[in-house]
Amino acid sequence: MKNSFKNLSFAELKAKRDELKRKYMDFRFKTVIGHVDNPLQKRTMRRQIARLNTLIHAHEIAEQKAEAK
């Protein structure tokens, strides 16, 4: 799962990040209610969102460098 994001395009990365953020919010609400099967899933989702943010930021930096040349 760690390396599955590297071959996605910039738009796909943003869409996947938005989807995971939405799922993370729903998961947080479920934890408050108390109907969670796997509480460690919260950590993995948060880390996946961080990986996506890192890749999106790398794409933005690469675009800025390409425009500067």
In the chain, what are the domains?
2-68 (1.10.287)
Give the confidence band of 11 by pLDDT, cuts at 50, 70, 90.
very high
Q: Has residue 48 got a pLDDT over 90? A: yes
pTM, whole model, 2 decimals? 0.87
Greater confidence (6 vs 22) lies with 22
Please give the average per-residue pLDDT across 21-50, as a whole number: 93
Asked whether 7 and 55 are in contact (CB, 8 A), the reply is no
* Model pLDDT, residue 28: 93
Surface-to-core class of residue 23, CB atoms within 10 Å of its CB (0-12 exposed, 13-18 middle, 19+ buried):
middle
Question: Which helix (H) or strand (E) covers residue 65, if one does?
Answer: helix 41-68
Q: What is the mean pLDDT of the chain?
A: 92
Q: What is the DSSP string of 5-24?
A: GTTS-HHHHHHHHHHHHHHH
* Model pLDDT, residue 6: 86
